[in-house]
Each structure stands twice: as C-alpha cells, then as structure tokens.
Structure 1
Amino acid sequence: MATHPAQLLFVFCTSLLLLGARLGECARVFTIINNCKETIWPAVTPAAADNFNGGGFALRAGQSVLFTAPVSWSGRIWARTGCNFDRNGNGTCVTGSCGTSLKCGGASGSTPATLAEITIASPDFYDVSLVDGFNLPVVVTPINGRGNCSVAGCDADLRRNCPPELSVRVNGRVAGCRSACDVFSTDEYCCRGVYGNPVTCQPTSYSKGFKQACPAAYSYAYDDPTSIFTCSGTDYVISFCSSRKQPVCTYHNHRLACSDAHTYVINVFLQTGWILILGLIFNGLFV
C-alpha cells in the first residue's frame, strides 16, 4: 500500500521536533553531512569516547550526524574512503586511515586527506587544508555565529585533474591526490629549512593548481591570508562532496538554523507551521 503524502509530512515534521527536543541546549553543535554517493568513514581527532563517537564512525550516502563539541576543542575532521572494518572496529581504508581502528581518538590520518581544521576560542579559527593532500571535497559552514564567518572549503574534485606524479591509484582509478611535500619531501615543497618562513616559502606550480581549483582552502603551509577564517560563538556544518554555495542546516536550542535566507523561510515554516499542518491532516484537507 502506498504511503499517503500527508503521512510522510507528518512523520517528517514529528521527526524534526523529536530531534530538536533531544538535542536540547548546547554550546557548539557540529553537524557532519555525507553528500557523497558512497559511504564514508569520518574521522575526528582529538576525540574521546563521550564526544565525536570516539573519533570514528560510518556515514552512509545522504546521512548526517550531530555532536556537541567540548569546550575549547581544537582538532581535525576528515573522511576516510574505501574502508572495511570488522565487528570489533578493526580494518583498513583506501585513504585517510588512522592505523587500523574505526575510532581514531588521537591518531592522525594518513595522507592524502582533505582536512577540516577548527579551533574553538574567542574568536574561533577554522580552515580546510590541502597541505596533506586531497581525497574528498569538504566544506565548513559556520551557522549562528558573529563576525566574518565565511564559508571555507574545497568543493572541487582534485582527483579529476591530479598530476600523475601526485596521483594515488587504486584499481585503475585515482583515489586521492598527494601534496608535493608528501611526494618529493624537499625543503622547498615542505616549507622547512631555509624555506621555513612565509617570505622564502612561496607557492609552487603544484600548490597554485590546488589554489586555482579551491581558492577558499589552504594550498601550502603559509597560505594563511586567503585560507583561514574567524567566527565567534558559531555552530559548524562539515559537509563532504558539497558545494560552498549549497545551503546547509543544523539544530541549536530546539531550532533549525540554516545558512541562507531562502532556507530560513523553510526554517520558520517548520517551526511554526507544523501545528497548522497537523490540523489540516486530521481534518482531511490533504485528501
């Protein structure tokens, strides 16, 4: 039997209300969204058992998950791809692995991996970094904040035009794009030694290619002025395989908050219009 559209709407609105009630009052909400066409395994470090699910979990295509960030948290979030974990959480990944564990905790990810980096302070600092290479597009969107609060990220797929010498190939396809530092390990590419300062360490042909494709992301170690952003008192949406212009939403204090004015209209409708919707349903006006 087909589900009546009104029933679907009722379930949708009720689910939103229950989600908002469950979240309650919280200082900083991190929403992680998988807009990719495949399952990913987000990793968070540092993370404990009582936050960020221990630093690792599976997220199917189209799914999202919400966490409350600890006070003064500073760390990294990235996606692992092509993973295979057993029931005990042991396994391997094609890119981004943190050893052989599902839950990364304090372990760093292997290169290449696109990193979302966030420091909660006054104000917050956040960026998306390609210094460790690229495996998936990542966008960081602040919501409910004060200040500049620009959207950071790399929403281009650098695997498509990755130079052969930087490419990580698995089963005939490019699974990731390494950084020049990771591949060649020279002082010039890694901004160390005599190149260990912003005056002598300049963009290379490789980092320029990254920057052209992703102007709102770190392309090399001293790419600060156009790559690091600030915002105060904000929640964050970290979305994989998304556009920087794509509207995103999160929950805070029982309210749905979104990243642009058009979605704000939907927000108001969902918060105030659900009573009217339920009344119409029960009066049979949707038939």
Structure 2
Amino acid sequence: MEDLLLLPILLFFLAGMNSLNTSATVFTLRNQCPYTIWPGTLSGDSGAVLGGGGFELSPGASASLSAGPGWSGRFWARTGCSFPGSGFNGSCTTGDCAGSLRCTSGGSPPVTLAEFTLGGSKDFYDVSLVDGYNVGVGIRPAAASCRYAGCLADLNNRCPAELRVVAAEAAGSGVVACRSACDAFGWAEYCCTGTHASPSTCGPTRHYQ
C-alpha cells in the first residue's frame, strides 16, 4: 500500500492517508481553518463507514480514520453547522447532508471533494470541484513516488458573481462557497451531457477557465 500523509497548509481543511500495514490504510484529516469544520465521509460499494459518517473537528485538530483494502469513498468539509443533541435535524451553511451529523448521503453542493480508491499495488486519489467549492483541500502522499493533489486557492473570493453562495453570518465578503456552472445553470455545455458528453465536445468554458 502506498504511504500517504497530509500537507499542512494554513487555513485549509486537508485530507490524506498513510499505510498502517498491508491490510489497512489510515487517513489523517487536519483542520487548518481558523474555524470549526464538520468533516463528512461517504463510502462507496457498501464499504465501511469511516468516522461514523461525520464528526466535529476544531481548528488545528486532526483525526485518523482506518480503512481496509479496496475501500473507496469521499471526504468533504462542512461549515457553519449546528446540530441538536441527537445529531439530527441540524443544518450546515455548506456541505450539509440532510441535516445529520453522521452523513448517509453526499454533501449538498457546492462542496470541495477529496476522493479515494484504495487498490492492490496502487491507490488513486483526487481533489474534485465537480460539485463546486467551499474550502481549500490538499492531499500530500508521504511516498516520494506519489504526487500532491489539491486546490488551495481561495476560490470564494475569486468566484464569479453569478456563482457565489453568500451567507449573511459569514465574516469578510460573506461568500461561503462557489457553485459549479453546471449546478447553477444546468446547461449541457457546462455539465458535459448530451452533445457535449465527450472530451472533444466538452471544452473549458469561461467559468471553468
């Protein structure tokens, strides 16, 4: 199993993993934001639920989650959350999963995703903005043969006006997330569907550039 570790970058939520042994992989999530986040986790193919599906992570804190061979799934950071004592009927400003502390569904867009598939000789990982962006996420492999992946730019402040998600309670600009053009408009050219469903017909638009 490849050995992976987080890259600690100030002000950003990060996700990563390192090899515990040949039968387990440990993901280490570090909150480098100046505010609390609530990581959400979702497993694919009925895989083990990591971290109970979601939990609270204070600024500067970290959490380690163990996964077995063949595990696949995603992590994301929820922000501005409030949950009652039961952990249900709550809400998050970004990344909400049906109001539950422990997610059984994906985060509501826009949200930055860290995606992993653990293989036999290789592990696959990426940071995806297909569902938009809410916080910067980075993944750094500890193994020198593996490359860093991430998006650490503050896209909220650079987000086009028509894609911004604004929350009145947010500090600064009030922009808490940036929608994808597909989510905002639903057009085939932005969603890579219909006649734009192939790499040759779904090129970069002005939003994605």
Same fold (TM over 0.5): yes
Aligned to 2:108: 110
Aligned to 2:12: none
Which digits, 9 at most, give the CA deviation of each residue in 1:49-82, with x for residues without a partner? Answer: 9752211000000000011112211111100000
Whichever structure has more helix as a proportion of its residues is 1
Aligned to 1:186: 187
Contact 2:47 2:71 in 1 (8 A): no
One-letter code aligned to 1:155: L
Question: Which structure has the greater CA radius of gyration?
Answer: 1
Unaligned runs of 5+ in 2: 1-19
1:135: Cα distance to partner? 0.2
Aligned to 2:167: 170
Report the 3-state secondary structure (helix = DSSP H, G, I; strand = E; otherwise coil) of the residue aligned with 1:84: coil
**RMSD, aligned α-carbons:** 2.0
Aligned mates of 2:68, 2:166 — CA distance in 1: 37
One-letter code aligned to 2:151: C
Which digits, 9 at most, give the CA deviation of each residue in 1:110-161, with x for residues without a partner? Answer: 000000011111422111011110000000112247x4x1100001110111
TM-score, structure 1 normalization = 0.60
Contact 1:51 1:68 in 2 (8 A): no
Aligned mates of 1:69, 1:204 — CA distance in 2: 38
Unaligned runs of 5+ in 1: 1-23, 209-287
Contact 1:134 1:159 in 2 (8 A): yes
TM-score, structure 2 normalization = 0.82
Aligned to 2:38: 41
1:100: Cα distance to partner? 1.2
1:41: Cα distance to partner? 0.2
In the alignment of these two chains, the number of paired residues is 183
Aligned mates of 2:49, 2:97 — CA distance in 1: 17
Matches within 5 A, 1:73-152: 73-90=71-88, 91-105=90-104, 107-121=105-119, 122-144=121-143, 147=145, 149-152=146-149
Matches within 5 A, 1:8-19: none
**% same residue:** 49
Report the 3-state secondary structure (helix = DSSP H, G, I; strand = E; otherwise coil) of the residue aligned with 2:155: coil
Q: Relative contact order, CA 8 A, sep 6+: which one is greater?
A: 1
Aligned mates of 2:37, 2:179 — CA distance in 1: 19
